[in-house]
Amino acid sequence: MVVVNAVQMAHNFIISRLQAANLVVDATAGNGKDTLFLVKNTPATTTILAFDVQPQAIAKTELLLQQHQFLHKTRLILDSHANIANYIDQPVDVAMFNLGYLPGGDHTLSTCPDITIEAISQTLQLLAVGGLLTVAAYPGYEHGKRECQAVHQYLTGLRQQTFTVGSWAMVNQTNSPPVLYVIEKRRSE
């Protein structure tokens, strides 16, 4: 199967960059599936920081990593990704933002446009030259649509001398399919 969903596409875009990564961020740990992908596809010495505001999400991610014996590579942080800069003092090689709400959880505890933009902005400043940041956005429901529009507006305004920004989405699906944004830092700001 060549055609995949937005999150799988994010994984495809970052997998080769992960092989030389020292520091990786999962900005929305959720059920831990992305965090597990990141720990599995990085060298043994890589550190993965995974953020979530929900204790339930951090607990699920911790359990999943324990089951796969990867917890030692990961720092789980129960805090908003808006505070990301408080936790990081070295370049970030890869960062993933998988927006929306916890699958199977409370839909009102979704990511929020203003906070998401603040977190993306901070992470782009921390990103290494040659580093990648992905954002999977979900415009298929009202709140998600507003968030996707905010992300689109913010990312399309980034200076092209500093960042390369692309996007990917299915074009023949009903109900506003997810949109993936991929940003590469070309040079220091």
13 or 101: CB nearest ligand SAM:
101
Closest to 29 (Cα-Cα) out of 63, 4, 69, 72: 63
Please tell me whether residue 147 binds ligand SAM under the rule CB under 6 A: no
Least distance in angstroms from the C-beta of 187 to ligand SAM: 28
Between CA 160 and CA 151 the distance in angstroms is 16
Between CA 38 and CA 11 the distance in angstroms is 9
DSSP code per residue over 2-24: ----HHHHHHHHHHHHHTT-SEE
Between CA 165 and CA 188 the distance in angstroms is 15
Please tell me whether residue 30 binds ligand SAM under the rule CB under 6 A: yes
Please tell me whether residue 121 binds ligand SAM under the rule CB under 6 A: no
Total site size for ligand SAM, rule CB under 6 A: 22
66 or 188: CB nearest ligand SAM:
66
**The only residue of 21, 28, 49, 178 in contact with ligand SAM, by rule CB under 6 A:** 28
Buried b (16+ CB within 10 A) or exposed e, 72-86: ebbebbeebbbebee
| Interaction residues for ligand SAM, span 100-119 (CB under 6 A) | 100-102, 109, 111, 115
Binding site for ligand SAM (CB under 6 A): 28-34, 51-54, 57, 80-82, 98, 100-102, 109, 111, 115
